Amino acid sequence: MHCHQDLVSFLGCGLILAGVWHLVYHKKSQSSYGRYMAQSPPARTVPARLAWFLQEMPAFIIPLLLILTTHKSTIMGKYMLLGTFCVHYFQRTFVYSLLMRGKPFPLSVMVAAGLFCSLNGFLQGHYLLHCAQFDDEWFTGYCFKIGLLLFYIGMTINIHSDFILHNLRKPKEVIYKIPTGGLFEYVSGANYLGEIVEWFGYAVATWSFPALSFALFTLCFIGPRAYYHHRFYLEKFKDYPKFRKALVPFIF
């Protein structure tokens, strides 16, 4: 398969525009799932664990299939970068989904998320395997090393924060509690901060427009959710730590 540069550019621009649209459209309210689901839930919902598994799986399977069906390049760093992308979605698909205790997802949300993961999985995989031009020196350079370091720092923050949230409630409990420990001591959206750091690190490591567009989409999509979580905690808990910020420690 040769590089479809026009398609790559189209999908990358689409991610940025979709992120900006979401940022503007959900300026006053968040997507209707989880704690923000309407009092009268939609008629068609999917159990949270199953929904998360199905919607995240394409972002793992599609790049993996591209790797298996592509003529092997002599530049192994490409596979390392795409493998990094797959590591994240392996964890989200096969580990995180099994630990979820959330409310059922609206079917429409699951389908939209699955479509996004499919397109993004193809975009990142196709670009790295067929379009990206790296020389051997790139994989010993600062951008590659710093980017991967940021990615795995962000992933560690994300997984640790999810672990804290998972252990806040006992099985079948539906009450909300104040998260503590880790970066939750500084921000309300520690799990979101970790994921944002991940994808900006990935963008630095690949130094590519598709990865940057995904990082910007992630910031626009889950950044506001961190803000609304923060506002939710402040309104619900009178003793919520006043110094704690929404997403960026000490700043926002």
Residue 242 resides in a domain: no
pLDDT at 202: 98
Residue 82's domain spans which residues? 5-236
CA–CA gap between residue 187 and residue 191 (Å, rounded): 9
Beta bridge partners of 187: 245
> Is residue 141 included in any domain, yes or no?
yes
What mean pLDDT do residues 213-231 have? 95
Q: What is the pLDDT of residue 169?
A: 82
User: Distance of CA 220 to CAs 45, 167, 183, 196, Å?
Assistant: 25, 28, 21, 10
User: Is residue 53 a contact partner of residue 250, using CB atoms and an 8 Å limit?
Assistant: no
In the chain, the amino acid numbered 168 is L
pLDDT at residue 33, rounded to an integer: 53
Q: How confident is the model at residue 27 (pLDDT cuts 50, 70, 90)?
A: confident
Cα–Cα distance, 204 to 214 (Å, whole number): 12
Q: What is the total count of domains within the chain?
A: 1
Which residues 6+ apart lie within 8 Å of 148 measured at CB? Answer: 84, 201, 205
Report how far residue 2's alpha carbon sits from residue 92's, in angstroms, rounded to the nearest whole number: 30
Which residue in the block uniquely carries the two structure tokens 């309210």? 29
Of 97, 102, 100, whose CA–CA distance to 35 is shortest? 102
pLDDT in the model for residue 37: 55
pLDDT at 113: 95
Q: Report the range out of 42-46, 137-141, 148-152 with the highest average pLDDT.
A: 148-152
Q: Does residue 244 form part of some domain? A: no
32, pLDDT greater than 80: no
Give 239: exposed, middle or buried? Use CB within 10 Å, 0-12, 13-18, 19+.
exposed
Query: Does residue 40 register a pLDDT over 90?
Result: no
CB 41 within 8 A of CB 163: no
Residue owning tokens 């020196």: 137
* CB contact at 8 A, 47 and 98: no
Query: What are the pLDDT digits (tens) for 72-127?
Result: 766 678 999 999 999 999 999 999 999 887 788 889 999 999 999 999 999 999 99
Q: Residue 63 and residue 74: Cα distance in Å, rounded? A: 18
Tally Cβ neighbours within 10 Å of residue 199. 23
Q: Is the pLDDT of residue 183 over 60?
A: yes
Instruction: Answer with the residue of higher pLDDT: 129 or 37.
Output: 129
CB 91 within 8 A of CB 38: no
131 is written with which tokens?
């379009």
For residue 29, pLDDT beyond 80? no
Question: Whole-number mean pLDDT of the chain?
Answer: 91
In a domain, 250, yes or no: no
The residues, any chain, with a CB within 8 Å of residue 125's CB and separated by 6 or more, are: 62, 63, 66, 67, 82, 85
Q: What is the pTM of this model?
A: 0.92
Q: Per the domain annotation, does 228 fall within a domain?
A: yes
Structure-token pair, residue 102:
């959330």
Sign of CA dihedral 240, 242, 247, 249: negative
Which of 13-22, 52-61, 73-82, 185-194 has the lowest average pLDDT? 73-82
